[in-house]
Structure 1
Amino acid sequence: MHHLTPLTTVSEQTLEQLELQVSLLNAAIAATPDWIFIKDENFSYVLANESYARAVGQTVTSIIGKDDLELGFSSELVSDDSLENIPGSRMEDLAVLRGETITKGQDVITLRDGSKRIFQTKKQPLRNSQGKIFAILGFCRDITENCQVQKHLQKILLHEDKDINEANLPTKHLANVSTCINSEKINLEKISSRQIGSQQTNLQPINLQVPHPSSLLSQANLETSVQSIESQQVDFRLQQAQRMLEKMLPTLGCSEQRYRSLVLASAQLVWTADRQGKIQDVVTRSKDSQIALLEIKGDKWKHLLHPEDRDRISQAWQKSINSQKLYQEEMRVQTKQGDYRYFLVRAVPIFTDNGQIREWVGVCIDIHDRKQVETELQQKAWELEKTLQKLNTTQNQLIQNDKMSSLGQLVAGVAHEINNPVNFIYGNLNHADGYIQDLLGFLQTYEKHYPNAVQEIAEEAEAIDLEFMRQDLPKLLSSMKMGAQRIREIVLSLRNFSRVDEMEKKEVDIHEGIDSTLMILQYRLKAKPEHMGILVEKSYGDLPPVECYPGQLNQVFMNILSNALDALEERDRKRSLKAIEENPSRICICTEIDGLDKVIIRISDNGPGISEEVQERMFEPFFTTKPIGKGTGLGMSISYQIIAEKHGGYLQCNSLPGKGSEFLIEIPLQQNQIV
C-alpha cells in the first residue's frame, strides 16, 4: 500500500527559502543591464529580463511563450544564412541542446531602430539533477563602446610618432575605461560574497587584474586583456545563475513525485502511449480500477470496446494521431465483471525537438453514473415533450372539432330556414304549371271559335307578343322548377354534411356523403373565366349501408378533396391553356367492397404528386406545406385519427412526384367488427 504525503505537509520553511531564492535571482536578473534569457526545448522563451525585453520592443510578459520568429526577428537571422556562412540562432540553439556551449567575442546585432551594436554573447545548456538538458541559458553584453576604445587605442599604437594628445581619443575616455573596469571588479566581489537565502554561496571572488590606462598604451595585447576581463564577467554571471537553478531542481523533482502520488491517489486511470498509439504504461490504483490493466497494453484495449463503438473510436484515435491534435471521446469499455461502463478518454501529444510526436499522455475517467443520469433525464425530457405535444394536439383538435360542431349547427339551422320557403315555392310551382296550361288551353279554344278578333284585342295581342309568351311561358316555368330543385339539393347536401355534431354511429349511404361534399365544393369544380373546370369521375360500387360516424367521415372527404383541388389549381396556374386542354385536371372517386366486411374508398387525382419526404410527415399534427394563413396543419392529422381511431380503419397515401396522388380509405362495414 502506498503511503502518500499530502501537499499540505510541505515544510513552510522550505517554501519560504525557495521563494526568497527565486526573488533574489529575479531581482539580480532584472537589475543587470545585460541581456539574459532562457529558452525551452521548443525554442520558446520561458524567462527574459527587462533589458532584453526593451531591446526587442516587447514586455517581459509578452515575450514568454513566443519564439524568435514570433517576436519579429527576420527569418534570415533565425535560420541559416548560407550566403555569409553564418549559422542562425535556431542552429545555435540546437547545438546548445546537444550539449555545446557557444561563445562569441564580437557579435554584430541590428536592433529594432536600425542601429548596429556589438555584443559579447554566450549560450550554454541548463541541466536538471539527472544531467538532462532542459533549457538554453543566454547572456549578451553590449561592448560597442569598448570596441570603439580598442579601435582608437590601436590607431594610437600604429602612430607612435604622434603625441597622445593629438590622437582622436581624449584622455577622459581612458579614465572612463579604467573606472568602468575597476567598478566591475568591486561589483563582482560584492556579488560573490552575497548571501542567497540562509546559505552562503561557494563562489570565490574573482580577482580581476586591471592595469592602469597609462600602461595600456605600451601593451601589445590590449585587445586580449579586455576580452579576458569581459569573459570572466560573463562566466561568473552564468555560473551564478546556473547554481541558483540547480538549487531549485531538487524541489522541482519533489513536486514531480508529489504529482505522481496525486495520480495514484485519484480515481482516474492515467496512461501513456507511443506515437503509433500503442499503450505503454498505465498508472492507477489497481485495486480500484474497473478495467483489467494487463488487457489494455499495446492495442489490446480495442478488444474491450463495445462492438458498436469500436469502429468509431478507432477512426477517431487514428485521426488524432495523424493530425497531432487533442483526442477526446466517450466510449463503452468492458470491465473486469464483463459488463460495459462509459468512460471519457482524453489524450494530448508530447512533441520532440523536431516537432514529431514522442508519446501520448492521457486519462480515462469513469462517467458511467453521469451517463445513466443523463440518459434518464433525456428520457424524462422526451416523455415530457411527447406529452406536451399530445396536449397541444388534443387542444387544437378540440378547438377544431368545436369549430366544426358550431359550423355544423349553423349550417343545419340555415339549411332548415332555407328549406321551408324553397319547399313552398317548389310545391306551388306544380300548381302554377297546371294553371298556366289551363289558361293557354282556354286561349287556344277562344281563338278557334272567334278567329277574327276585334281591332282593340288584336292590337293588345300584338303589343304583348302573345305568340312568344305562349311559347316561352312553359320554358320559364320549367326553369324555375329546375332552380328550386337545385336549391333543395344544396340544402339537403348541407344537412347531410352538417352531421359533425352527431356523436353516435349510424348506418348511412357513403355515396350520399361523398356527393354532398362534392355539392359543397361545386363552386371550385366548375369552370370560371380565370381557369377551366376540374373534371370529377365517379365509379361507385354496390355498397350496403355502412355503420360509421357520418359527419366525421364527411369531414375526411372534405379534407382530402380540398387538398386535391388546391394542388390541381396551383398546377393549372402554371400551365398554358393548350396544356390544360390536352391534359385536363381530373379527380377520380372509386368505392368497392373488399371481401365481406370492409369498404374501400379511393380518391385520386392527376396532379403534381407528393414527395416522399412530405408523405412521411403529412399525418403529423401542425405539418403543412401551404403558405402561412392558408393551412393549420391539422386537416390530415384529424382525418387519420377519424379513420384509424374512430372507425378502426386505415388511411394511406400513395404518390409519386409528377404522377398524381391517391388516398386509400379502408373502414369496416360494421363497427362491432373492430378488434
Structure 2
Amino acid sequence: MTERKRAEAALKASERQFHTLADSIPQLVWMADAQGAIYWLNSHWYEYTGRPTGEINQHGWHTLLGDRWIEALAAGTALESELSLLGKDGEYRPFLTRVVPLRDPGGVVYGWIGTHIDISERKRSEREVRRAKDAAEAALQNLRETQNSLIEAEKLAALGRLVAGVAHEINNPLGTSLTVVSSLEHKSELLASEMAQGTLKRSSLKEFVEAIRDGSAQLQQSLNRAAGLIQSFKQVASDRNNSDLRSFDLGDLTEQVASGLRPALPKHGVTLDVDCQRGLSMSSYPGSYGQVLTNLFLNSIAHAFPDGQQGKIAIKVSATGANDVEIIFTDNGCGMTPDVRRQAFDPFFTTRRHQGCTGLGLHIVYSVVTDRLGGRLDLKTEPGKGTRVQLTLPKVAPGTSEPE
C-alpha cells in the first residue's frame, strides 16, 4: 500500500508539473481520453472562451474537426487541421490545431493531447500579401498594355516619318517632270503658231526636235526615279504591315529598305552606304527585319549627329557560318557614354525626352531581334567614336522550314 501511495503521489506531482507547464505556454492546450472525450484544458482556454469547465462539451471536437477526428481516433494517428473558435468577445478566430496520441509502453493509445495556435495574424498577413500580389499583377498588366500601345505608336510614327520623307523625295522628280512638260508645252505652242503663219524655219523645227528628245529623257529619268521610290516604299510598307514569314533575298530586301530610308537623311552632311552580299536566301519575317533597320537608322539620325554634324551611316550584310547571316550597322557619330550604353535597350530610356522621344526605338530592336527573329545583338560604342550594332540572325527563323 505504501508503494502504491508513493506511485500515486508521484503521478499527481507529475500531472501538476505538466499542468503548470501547459498553463505557462501561450497556446490553448487540452487533453482527452482514448475515446476522444476531453477531460482537461489549460487556463488559456478559459481565458479565450470565457467559459468555466462545466460548460465545455467533452465531445465537441467531433463536431469541430469532423470526419478527420473520427478517422484519427480509429487509426490512432496524429491530426493537423485549421478551425475557427469562438472567443469571449463573440468573434471567431482561426486556429491551427495539432492533436497527437499518447501511448503506453505497449503502444496502446490511452489518451490524446491537442494544441490550438492562434493564426489570425498569419491569415491577415496572407490576405495582405494576396491583395498586394493582385494589385501588383494588375499594375504589371496595365504597364504591359501601355507599353504595347506605345510600341505600336512608335512603329506607326516611324512609318509616318518614312512616308513624309518619301513624299518629300518624290516631289523632286515630279517637280522636274512638271517643269519639262511645261517647257515642252510652250515650245509646242510656238511651233504651232509659226506653222499657222507660214514662218516655220528648219532651225526652229530642229530646235523643237532636240527639245523633245532632251525633255523626254529628263521625263523618263525623273518618272523612273519616282516609280522606283514608290515601289521600294510599297514593298517595305507591305512587309512591315505583314507579320507572316516568307522566303526572300536578304540583300534585295536590305536595298529596298535603304531606298525608303534615304529620303529621311538630313539634307546636308549625312550619307547612307549599303554593302550587301548577294544570294542570301532567308526564311524569316521581312517586316520585322525592316522594322529593325528602320529603328536603328532613325535612332542614329536622331542621336548620333547633333547640331547638323556631318557623318556616315553604313549597313553591311554578309553570311557568317553555314546557317547565319550578319548585319553590321555603324555610324561615325558622337557615340554613347558607358551609362547610356548600359541602358540603351531598356524600355522608355531616352536622352531626348524633351524632344518627344519615347525611348522605345532600341527596345523594339532588341525585342524583335531576340524574340521574333531568333537572333543575337551586340552593341559597341564609345563617346566620340561612333556606334556599331552587330546583328546575327539565323537564315531560318525559329519554328520555320528551310527556304526553297
- What's the TM-score, normalizing by structure 1? 0.33
Report the counterpart of residue 111 of structure 2 in structure 1. Answer: none
The 8 Å contact of residues 380 and 387 in structure 2, kept in 1 or not, is answered as yes
Report the counterpart of residue 392 of structure 1 in structure 2. Answer: 146
Secondary structure at 1:478's aligned position in 2?
helix
Shift in Å, 1:480: 0.9
Residue type of the alignment partner of 1:564: S
Given the alignment, which residue of 488, 493, 504 partners 2:232? 493
Shift in Å, 1:481: 0.7
Given the alignment, which residue of 334, 349, 353 partners 1:608? 334
The 8 Å contact of residues 648 and 674 in structure 1, kept in 2 or not, is answered as no
Shift in Å, 1:475: 2.2
User: CA 1:616–1:406 in 2, change beyond 3 Å: closer, same or farther?
Assistant: closer
Alignment map for 1:504-543 (pairs within 5 Å):
504-525=244-265, 528=267, 532-543=268-279
Counterpart Cα distance in 2 of 1:671 and 1:517: 20
Residue type of the alignment partner of 1:516: Q
Secondary structure at 1:628's aligned position in 2?
helix
Shift in Å, 1:565: 1.6
Shift in Å, 1:658: 1.0
Query: Given the alignment of the two structures, is residue 653 of structure 1 paired with residue 379 of structure 2, yes or no?
Result: yes
Secondary structure at 2:333's aligned position in 1?
coil
Shift in Å, 1:629: 4.7
The 8 Å contact of residues 370 and 377 in structure 2, kept in 1 or not, is answered as yes
Given the alignment, which residue of 202, 205, 214 partners 1:475? 214
The 8 Å contact of residues 229 and 259 in structure 2, kept in 1 or not, is answered as yes
Shift in Å, 1:388: 4.0
Counterpart Cα distance in 1 of 2:215 and 2:383: 50
Report the counterpart of residue 664 of structure 1 in structure 2. Answer: 390
Q: For structure 1, which runs of at least 5 residues remain unmatched after alignment?
A: 1-264, 268-368, 430-454, 574-583
User: CA 1:606–1:669 in 2, change beyond 3 Å: closer, same or farther?
Assistant: same
Query: Given the alignment of the two structures, is residue 549 of structure 1 paired with residue 300 of structure 2, yes or no?
Result: no
Report the counterpart of residue 588 of structure 1 in structure 2. Answer: 314
The 8 Å contact of residues 571 and 607 in structure 1, kept in 2 or not, is answered as no
Report the counterpart of residue 367 of structure 2 in structure 1. Answer: 641
The 8 Å contact of residues 283 and 400 in structure 2, kept in 1 or not, is answered as no
Secondary structure at 2:359's aligned position in 1?
coil
Secondary structure at 1:508's aligned position in 2?
strand
Counterpart Cα distance in 1 of 2:356 and 2:301: 14
Counterpart Cα distance in 2 of 1:518 and 1:566: 17
Over aligned residue pairs, what C-alpha RMSD do you find?
Answer: 4.2
Q: Deviations over 1:173-221 (max 9, x none)?
A: xxxxxxxxxxxxxxxxxxxxxxxxxxxxxxxxxxxxxxxxxxxxxxxxx
Q: For structure 2, which runs of at least 5 residues remain unmatched after alignment?
A: 1-23, 27-121, 182-196
Counterpart Cα distance in 1 of 2:244 and 2:158: 14
The 8 Å contact of residues 586 and 605 in structure 1, kept in 2 or not, is answered as yes
User: CA 1:566–1:386 in 2, change beyond 3 Å: closer, same or farther?
Assistant: same
Report the counterpart of residue 628 of structure 1 in structure 2. Answer: 354
Shift in Å, 1:615: 2.1
Counterpart Cα distance in 2 of 1:626 and 1:541: 36
Alignment map for 1:95-110 (pairs within 5 Å):
none
The 8 Å contact of residues 537 and 589 in structure 1, kept in 2 or not, is answered as yes
User: CA 1:375–1:540 in 2, change beyond 3 Å: closer, same or farther?
Assistant: farther
Counterpart Cα distance in 1 of 2:149 and 2:126: 32
Residue type of the alignment partner of 1:555: Q
- What's the TM-score, normalizing by structure 2? 0.53
Counterpart Cα distance in 1 of 2:210 and 2:278: 43
Report the counterpart of residue 185 of structure 2 in structure 1. Answer: none
Shift in Å, 1:399: 4.9
Secondary structure at 1:588's aligned position in 2?
strand
User: CA 1:537–1:494 in 2, change beyond 3 Å: closer, same or farther?
Assistant: closer
Residue type of the alignment partner of 2:282: V
Counterpart Cα distance in 1 of 2:293 and 2:159: 19
The 8 Å contact of residues 329 and 388 in structure 2, kept in 1 or not, is answered as yes
Q: Which has the higher contact order (CA 8 A, sep 6+)?
A: 2
User: CA 1:375–1:509 in 2, change beyond 3 Å: closer, same or farther?
Assistant: farther
Secondary structure at 1:671's aligned position in 2?
coil
Secondary structure at 1:562's aligned position in 2?
helix
Counterpart Cα distance in 2 of 1:627 and 1:405: 16
Report the counterpart of residue 335 of structure 1 in structure 2. Answer: none
Alignment map for 1:221-370 (pairs within 5 Å):
none
Counterpart Cα distance in 1 of 2:341 and 2:128: 31
Residue type of the alignment partner of 1:393: Q
Report the counterpart of residue 298 of structure 2 in structure 1. Answer: 562
The 8 Å contact of residues 543 and 592 in structure 1, kept in 2 or not, is answered as no
Alignment map for 1:412-451 (pairs within 5 Å):
none
Query: Given the alignment of the two structures, is residue 502 of structure 1 paired with residue 207 of structure 2, yes or no?
Result: no
Residue type of the alignment partner of 1:586: K
Counterpart Cα distance in 2 of 1:482 and 1:544: 30
Report the counterpart of residue 232 of structure 1 in structure 2. Answer: none
Residue type of the alignment partner of 1:545: S
Shift in Å, 1:506: 0.8
Shift in Å, 1:543: 4.0
Shift in Å, 1:548: 1.8
Counterpart Cα distance in 2 of 1:377 and 1:628: 39
Residue type of the alignment partner of 2:261: L
Counterpart Cα distance in 2 of 1:666 and 1:597: 10
Secondary structure at 1:607's aligned position in 2?
coil
Q: Percent identity?
A: 21
Counterpart Cα distance in 1 of 2:127 and 2:314: 53
Q: Deviations over 1:113-161 (max 9, x none)?
A: xxxxxxxxxxxxxxxxxxxxxxxxxxxxxxxxxxxxxxxxxxxxxxxxx
Shift in Å, 1:374: 12
Q: Deviations over 1:255-297 (max 9, x none)?
A: xxxxxxxxxx9x9xxxxxxxxxxxxxxxxxxxxxxxxxxxxxx
Larger radius of gyration: 1
The 8 Å contact of residues 158 and 295 in structure 2, kept in 1 or not, is answered as no
Shift in Å, 1:533: 3.0
Secondary structure at 1:394's aligned position in 2?
helix
User: CA 1:655–1:647 in 2, change beyond 3 Å: closer, same or farther?
Assistant: same
Secondary structure at 1:556's aligned position in 2?
helix
Q: Deviations over 1:388-434 (max 9, x none)?
A: 43332233335556x479979x97xx99xx9xxx9xx9xxx9xxxxx
Counterpart Cα distance in 2 of 1:476 and 1:406: 34
Residue type of the alignment partner of 1:622: F
Counterpart Cα distance in 2 of 1:642 and 1:543: 24
Residue type of the alignment partner of 1:490: L
The 8 Å contact of residues 288 and 372 in structure 2, kept in 1 or not, is answered as no
Counterpart Cα distance in 2 of 1:543 and 1:558: 22
The 8 Å contact of residues 405 and 501 in structure 1, kept in 2 or not, is answered as no
The 8 Å contact of residues 243 and 288 in structure 2, kept in 1 or not, is answered as no
User: CA 1:619–1:559 in 2, change beyond 3 Å: closer, same or farther?
Assistant: same
Report the counterpart of residue 484 of structure 1 in structure 2. Answer: 223
User: CA 1:625–1:666 in 2, change beyond 3 Å: closer, same or farther?
Assistant: same
